[in-house]
Structure 1
């Protein structure tokens, strides 16, 4: 079988196809006809213009779990980069003839074969980018999709439009692009944060001695369902719904009861933060039941599942975790369990959370960053006595990861650490430099970004009072803010497991 003439073998940047390529194509051509020929041709056609991967991504996004949805977004993002570079840059730079028509049987050939350079395979690059991006977030979903990606790669050889080395090169390139996305979009660690030591408390069977405070409006209006479920599971608990002008009076009255041994809360982060303040003040254990939209604290503390907290109540087990506090203008004290922020950060959080459940935290954060930066006004402050102007200030309870990118996870909720980050506005072209650094993974080298891990930080606003956001709630204003860590200040009811409480030790 003749493949290329001598002139053809010497032409092009890539040059002559290797003898191994020719041998492999020849072996493939000698495989007898089967129904798989039609299936491989159809599969290869379905992957044109990445239609197959966009459809799979949509299915995973709609029907998959949280990690599968993140994987679908990362895979499609990696695919778009890999496909664009492979087809728009690499093919013109590395011209290579495709296998001749007669290299495969007629039944396998496409009616209108592609005429662009054979090297590299854009189909293989797209397939590998998608499945590798998916694997970074959801290995289980990637295992199911990987055979399809491999079949797409082989189909390009089977129907005679690529040499095997084109497919291998495309697949390696696509995988490399997906892996590089970790540099500016960190892979989220879904493992619970490292917590403090396990402690024993009096068991609270069926909720006896528990005051359960619930937010009926949490979780997009699903709070009533969560409360109803907990009333059945904890029939001995006293239930109090959040809200009403006399809510604080009712809580204070219940706090004086002699049989009260623990507090419980069902709701989102804002509700958890409010009830945690009572628990810390009265030195009572806190049972957290996730009932909000995102439930960052419950997820990080490993109590997102109701069974974990109920088991802790029954067994009488709890763990110590850090909380943080902020003193406003030397008077009002506010507790927070996740983050506090000034400047454009409250708006950043609102935009990010609007998109986070749909496209994942990092893409949502990227959209929010761009929108807020180009609308925000500089905030002139002193941070621990140093004068600066900033776009936004982030103060996290505990250690957030990664340190040099948009925070994605919290590996520790112990140790008395505040994670302080702010974006400077007093650097030339700071907006553009921040956007560039965020999307290229170079934030740690940018003069516009500052990151510290401390136990206390003082911030004074030079102008009029500004809004403070704590755990998503923006309902306080001030000029002087003192943020402090409360090491092991909260006793969280949870069935203790060494894997959670001793992580990273």
Structure 2
């Protein structure tokens, strides 16, 4: 639907760039192109010790606050800016600039020019989101997925080896987790289980994959919950984290993917799980962002919210 919240030249846009995002999978630095097409936008490069919240709070407190919030960065930055756009009830302009850009791809924003074209023509779409709450904490906006178990453990191990870089650190983390991945104990209602992992996607997702990093559409206001029970090997636990179609096909041909009897799926409006204290790290992930929780156990709640965000998308 057309929108006149900001001018096509960028007047009224406050766009944050985050150089700390993962290396962009684009051919060139998109920032010069963004500045050219949004000549009158306020482009704010995030400082070393500055948070996205601080930058947006200062902008919204100005005499003439922005009418659109924008972000050039990866999924973590996009997710946080989505939360702030909801808080201030303004549309969000997403320009992909991270490693995977899962949400941008789901929205049809495969490159910066696609995002800028959608903005120039005022194409706004309503987007369903999820909110995740841990214990008595504040709700966090989720655009793609929440995960417990093997994937957060892998990310925690990779962060420990940050000096190696994301890719080499990831290889080392996979090797480490193949030997040391630990199942977690959960309780959902009256049911208790030991599991390798849980993924909770915003909207119904591909039934053939377990690791749902990217949503399939924008409007489906439900949660697609996948549970991998700890009845198989660590190799299968790590293989289940594959999300590329070709990788999944190869692993399936090698019979390394989990058996269907070890996987459960639920489609819900809300989902709540109690993670029991164990020797596994008390961590979870939302949109690729690793978070720590209470080692004594924690309760994680997720709920789907329809039409909760407006995003420029074709």
TM-score (norm 1): 0.50
Instruction: Give the distance between the partners of 2:151 and 2:145, measured in 1 at CA.
Output: 10
- Cα contact 1:325–1:335 (8 A) shared by 2: yes
258, 267, 271: which is aligned to 2:73?
A: 267
Unpaired runs of 5+ in structure 2? 159-165, 241-250
Q: Conserved in 1, the CA contact under 8 Å of 2:69 and 2:93?
A: yes
The match for 1:471 is 287
CA-CA distance at 1:483 after TM superposition: 0.9
Which residue of structure 1 aligns with residue 244 of structure 2? Answer: none
| Alignment counterpart, residue 36 of structure 2, candidates 227, 232, 239 | 232
Aligned 8 A contact 2:102 2:214 in 1: no
| Pairing 1:378-389 to 2, within 5 Å after superposition | 378-389=183-194
How many residue pairs match? The answer is 285
Q: Does 1:455 align with 2:303?
A: no
Query: Which residue matches 1:252?
Result: 57
Superposition deviation, residue 211 in structure 1:
0.6
Taking a change above 3 Å as real, the CA distance of residues 327 and 412 of structure 1, as seen in their structure-2 partners, is: same
TM-superposed deviation, 1:325: 1.5
Deviation at 1:466, TM superposition (A): 1.1
2:72–2:94: 8 Å Cα contact kept in structure 1?
yes
Q: CA deviation at 1:403?
A: 4.1
Inter-partner Cα distance in structure 1 for 2:98 and 2:239: 33
SS class of match (2:261): coil
Alpha carbons of 1:379 and 1:227: their partners in 2 closer, same or farther (altered >3 Å)?
Answer: same
Distance 1:266 1:231 in 2: 11
Q: How does 1:350-499 map to 2 (within 5 A)?
A: 354=167, 372=177, 374-403=179-208, 407=212, 410-425=215-230, 427=231, 429=232, 431=234, 439=252, 446-463=260-277, 466-478=282-294, 479-494=298-313, 496=314
For the aligned residues, what is the CA RMSD? 3.3
Contact kept? 2:179, 2:234, Cα under 8 Å: yes
Q: Distance in 2 between matches of 1:219 and 1:377?
A: 27
Q: 2:16 aligns with which of 213, 220, 241?
A: 213
Larger % of strand: which? 2
Question: Which position in structure 1 is the counterpart of 2:131?
Answer: 325
1:211–1:295 distance in 2 versus 1, CA, 3 Å:
same
CA deviation vs aligned residue, 1:325-361 (integer Å, no higher than 9, x gap)? 211112232222112111111245687x849xxxxxx
> 1: distance between equivalents of 2:214 and 2:60?
34
Moved more, 370-379 or 200-209: 370-379
1:408: Cα distance to partner?
8.1
Selected match of 1:241 from 35, 38, 45: 45
Are the aligned partners of 1:216 and 1:227 in contact in 2 as well (CA < 8 Å)? no
**1:328, 1:481 within 8 Å by CA — same for their partners in 2?**
yes
Does the 8 A contact of 2:10 with 2:40 survive in 1?
Answer: yes
Query: Is structure 2 residue 148 aligned with structure 1 residue 335?
Result: no
Query: In the alignment, which residue of structure 1 is the partner of 2:243?
Result: none
Question: 1:233: Cα distance to partner?
Answer: 2.1
Cα offset, 1:373, TM superposition: 5.5
Structure with greater helix share of residues? 1
CA distance in structure 2 between the partners assigned to 1:326 and 1:295 by the alignment: 20
- Equivalent residues in 2 for 1:6-405 (5 A)? 198=1, 200-220=3-23, 225-247=29-51, 248-257=53-62, 258-348=64-154, 354=167, 372=177, 374-403=179-208
